[in-house]
Amino acid sequence: MRSERAHRACVVRALLVLVALGSLTENARAHEAAAAKTVQTSLGALQRSDGETEHRVVARALDALRRLGPAARDAAPVLVELLSHDAALYQGRDKLGVLRLRAYVLLVLGEIGLPDAARPYLIDALAHVDERMHPVEVASAVRAAGRLGASGRDLVPYLLHLFRQRFGEEELTLTRYDAEVPKGEATTVQREIVRALSRMCSADDVDALALLERLAHGDAGSELDPRLEDEARAALAAIRTRGATLASRAPAEPAAPAPLATPWTVREARKPLRNLDIALVDHAGAAHVLSDLIDRPVLLTFFYSRCQNAGRCAATVAQLAALQRELGERGLVRSVRLVAVTFEPQFDTPERLRRFALDRGLALGPDALAVRLDVARHPKLVEELKTPVSYSAGWVNSHGIQAALIDAEGRVVRKYVTLLWDNRTVADDLQRLVQDSASR
C-alpha cells in the first residue's frame, strides 16, 4: 500500500515536473518568438531610416533591441551597416545628430553582441580620438569595447591612451539616448575606461594594472576624479578574481585581427573607375582632369582642412608625408603619385590645400598633390570609392580614414582602411605595381 502511494506520488511529481518544463519551454518559445518579432520590427524601422528620419524614432528602434540584449544578436549585421560613415541614416543630418546616433548604434551593438565585422569601426572610434570629440562618442565606444571582455584585450592600449584626455571627466549618460543626465545615471569616459578594463584585463596587463593601482590608492594625480578610487578598487578585485578562476581554464581564443586593408586584387579582377574625368584644381591653382594624374600608380586619400580631429586628417596628411620619404628612400618618388583630395571642395581653396599639406610635411609638386575636385562631380568619386564620409549641406559630419591604391590604368587594387596605413606595406604595394607595369 505504502509503496503504491509512494509510486503514485512519484508519478504525480514527475508529471508536474514535465508540465512545468513544458510550460517553461512554451514560455521560452513565446519569449523567443516575441524577441524575434521585436528584432524584425526594429530592423525594418532602421532599414527604412535615412537622414530625414526623426532621430528619436531611430533611437526607439535601437532601444527595443537594447532591451533584448543578446537575444537581439541577429540584428547585429544591420547595425554594423549603420556604423558606416556613408550610411543613408546620416546623410543630410546635422553633425550632432550623426555623432549621437552612431555612438548609440555602437553602444547597442556592444550590448547585443559585437560581431567581428564591427571591430574596424570600434578601433576607428578608439584610435582616432581628439579632445574636441564629444565625450558620448568616446564613452560609447569604450563601453562597447568593455563588453568584449577578454577577447577585446588588444584594445586596452587605446583605452589607456584615452584616459587622460580633457573630456575624460565630463558627465554624461549611457543608460538612455537622451542627453539629459538623470541623477544616479551619470558616468564619465574615465569611469567607463576603468569598468572596461575590469572586464577586459588579466593579471598580465601590467600597464592597465599599474594605472588601476595608482587610481585605487589615489596617487594617480591630483587632477583626477577621486570618485575613480572605488571604481579602480572594484576593477582590481574583479581582475584578480577572474585571474584565479581562469587559471584552471584554457585561455580564451584571441579575436581575429581587424582587417586594416582589403585584399590585393589581381589584374584580371580589377574594375576601372568610372569617374576619372572629373576636373580638379590643385594646390597651386592649376587645373587638371583626374585621369591625367593617374598615368602611374597612385595612392589617393581624402582629408579636409577644417577637420578638428588631429588624429584623422592632420595625421593622414602627415602619414602621406612620411610615405613620401619612404618612397624617396626607395627611389620611387617619380614612379608613383600621391594625391590628397579634399572632402570639402567648396571650402578648401588652393591656398588652404597648400598650407595644410606643407604644414604637415608633404612636399608638393607633380608627384604629390593636394586637390579639390569639381564641386558637382565630387560626390560621384566619393560614392564610387565608397569613401567613409557623411555630409550635411556639403559639410563633413563624420568620416573615416581610407586610402585607395590605384594602378596606372585607373583601377582600384586595394584599400587601406580604418587605421592609418602602414607605410612600408603601402610602399611595398606601390613598388609591386611599378614593377608590374615595367615588366609589361
Partner 1 sequence: MRPHYEIAFLSVVLALSSALHAVLVHAQAPFDADAYREAKRVATETFLDRTKPKTVRVAAANGLRYPDDKTFAALLSVGNDRREDEEIRLLAFQRHRYDDEYIESVLKILATASDGGAILRAGLIDDVSQRTTFKLPPELRARIVTAFRARLTDRSPLVRLSAFRALVAAQDLQAVDLLVEALRRGRNLPIPKASAIALLDLDGPTKHIATVRPYLHDEDPQVQAQAAHVLSSDPDSRAELVRLATSTSTPELVRVAALRGLSREDESFETYAIALMRNPEETPDVRHQAMKTMAGRLNYEKSSPETQLRFAEAVRRLAEGPRLLGAKGLDVGEEAKKLLGNLRRSFPAVRKRYAQ
| Contact residues: partner 1, CB under 8 A | 92-97, 100, 134-136, 166, 168-172, 178-181, 186, 188, 190, 222-227, 306, 346-347, 349, 351, 392-395
Q: Is 397 helix (H, G, I), strand (E, B) or coil?
A: strand
Least distance in angstroms from the C-beta of 169 to partner 1: 3
For partner 1, which is the closer residue by CB, 120 or 135? 135
Sign of the torsion formed by the C-alpha atoms of 224, 226, 229 and 230: negative
Dist. CA 141–CA 8, nearest whole Å: 59
* Residue among 122, 119, 117 at smallest CA distance from 78: 117
Least distance in angstroms from the C-beta of 390 to partner 1: 13
Instruction: For residue 172, give the DSSP letter.
Output: B
Q: What is the DSSP string of 327-351?
A: HHHTT-GGGSEEEEEES-TTT--HH
Least distance in angstroms from the C-beta of 107 to partner 1: 14
Contacts (Cβ under 8 Å, ≥6 apart) of 197: 146, 156, 159, 205, 208, 211, 212, 235, 239
Least distance in angstroms from the C-beta of 376 to partner 1: 11
For partner 1, which is the closer residue by CB, 48 or 132? 132
Here the cell at position 370 is: 593636394
Dist. CA 206–CA 125, nearest whole Å: 24
For partner 1, which is the closer residue by CB, 311 or 350? 350
For partner 1, which is the closer residue by CB, 143 or 337? 143
Least distance in angstroms from the C-beta of 75 to partner 1: 26
Facing residues of 299 across strands?
338, 405
Least distance in angstroms from the C-beta of 244 to partner 1: 33
For partner 1, which is the closer residue by CB, 222 or 248? 222
For partner 1, which is the closer residue by CB, 213 or 395? 395
Q: What is the CA radius of gyration of the chain?
A: 26
For partner 1, which is the closer residue by CB, 288 or 347? 347
For partner 1, which is the closer residue by CB, 9 or 179? 179
Dist. CA 428–CA 407, nearest whole Å: 14
Least distance in angstroms from the C-beta of 393 to partner 1: 4
For partner 1, which is the closer residue by CB, 97 or 146? 97
Least distance in angstroms from the C-beta of 172 to partner 1: 7
What are the Cα distances from residue 55, in Å, to 62, 87, 182?
11, 14, 20
Cβ 131 vs Cβ 312: under 8 Å: no
Dist. CA 323–CA 126, nearest whole Å: 24
Dist. CA 171–CA 154, nearest whole Å: 27
Least distance in angstroms from the C-beta of 51 to partner 1: 8
Q: Is 321 helix (H, G, I), strand (E, B) or coil?
A: helix
Least distance in angstroms from the C-beta of 269 to partner 1: 38
For partner 1, which is the closer residue by CB, 91 or 262? 91
Dist. CA 148–CA 116, nearest whole Å: 10
For partner 1, which is the closer residue by CB, 326 or 347? 347
For partner 1, which is the closer residue by CB, 100 or 119? 100
- Encode burial over 149-186: b for 16+ CB neighbours within 10 A, e otherwise: ebbbbbbbebbbebbebebbbeebbbeebeeeeeeeee
Burial (CB < 10 A; 0-12, 13-18, 19+), residue 270, is: middle
Least distance in angstroms from the C-beta of 225 to partner 1: 4
Q: What is the DSSP string of 272-288?
A: B-S----EEEETTS-EE
